[in-house]
Amino acid sequence: MKLLLLEDDDLLAESLAESLEDNGYRVDLATSLRVARSVMRTEDYALVILDLGLPDGSGLDLLSQWRKAGLDLPVLILTARDTWEDKVNGLEVGADDYLTKPFHEAELLARIKALLRRRAGHVSQELTLNGVSLNEASQSVSIDGGPWHSLTGTEFRLLRFLMHHPNRVHSKEKLIDQLYALEQDAAAPNLVEVYIGRLRRRLGKSMIQTRRGQGYVFVTH
């Protein structure tokens, strides 16, 4: 699952990106409104963490433009401004949540998880489809109520993406894009095959189907 972090404070951004990645998210970092506008045109994010004071303008204006354009992905505002007027403003413009600096990373992570769960329409740490249960906290999987098996980071991210978007065909390129952040060297699409193979060994062959020439689909019916 890929997040966009819009933050111009290098130290904070790097530390946040690191702890988000430790928690299984892929993070693209943008340090200005200009960069954020550009990556939003081409990338597919599950959530945006938005600083308000940016070198080329206010994050609020950007958020307002996104909402007017019909973009409905969850946005969490992260800012030093902490008057109640600022919070009301942010929420009215279309933010889903608001966190004031300084904050504890654990709180940010909990809020991000809550926003993503709300968006996905379920309220527990566990997602179960077709007898496959995925636990986001422990990054492990259980089949038909059996024992839990830990997944590697990449296996977890791949399975989580497929289970959050079931019954839709995802190309290898799209899956690679969800697994690796922009700044990393482009990984070979063959890697997706390798990881799909590993997941199939855990879940059974029929759960993730191949659509020849198109991609993969997690099937629930």
Binding site for Ca ion (CB under 5 A): 8, 51, 53
The continuous run of DSSP H or E covering 23 comes out as none
Q: Are strands 53-54 and 57-58 parallel, antiparallel or unpaired?
A: antiparallel
d(CA 207, CA 219): 6
CB nearer Ca ion, residue 59 or residue 215 = 59
Structure tokens at 124: 């527990």
Structure tokens at 103: 């904050």
d(CA 162, CA 30): 26
d(CA 132, CA 38): 37
**Shortest distance, position 67 Cβ to Ca ion, whole Å:** 21
CB nearer Ca ion, residue 63 or residue 158 = 63
**Shortest distance, position 54 Cβ to Ca ion, whole Å:** 6
**Shortest distance, position 180 Cβ to Ca ion, whole Å:** 27
Q: Give 99's strand partners.
A: 78
CB nearer Ca ion, residue 56 or residue 193 = 56
Structure tokens at 165: 């978007």
CB nearer Ca ion, residue 83 or residue 184 = 83
**Shortest distance, position 88 Cβ to Ca ion, whole Å:** 20
d(CA 159, CA 152): 11
CB nearer Ca ion, residue 8 or residue 155 = 8
**Among residues 203, 47, 220, which one has the least CA distance to residue 140?**
203
CB nearer Ca ion, residue 101 or residue 122 = 101
**Among residues 48, 52, 59, which one has the least CA distance to residue 25?**
48
**Shortest distance, position 52 Cβ to Ca ion, whole Å:** 7
Closest residue to Ca ion: CB criterion: 53
**Shortest distance, position 40 Cβ to Ca ion, whole Å:** 18
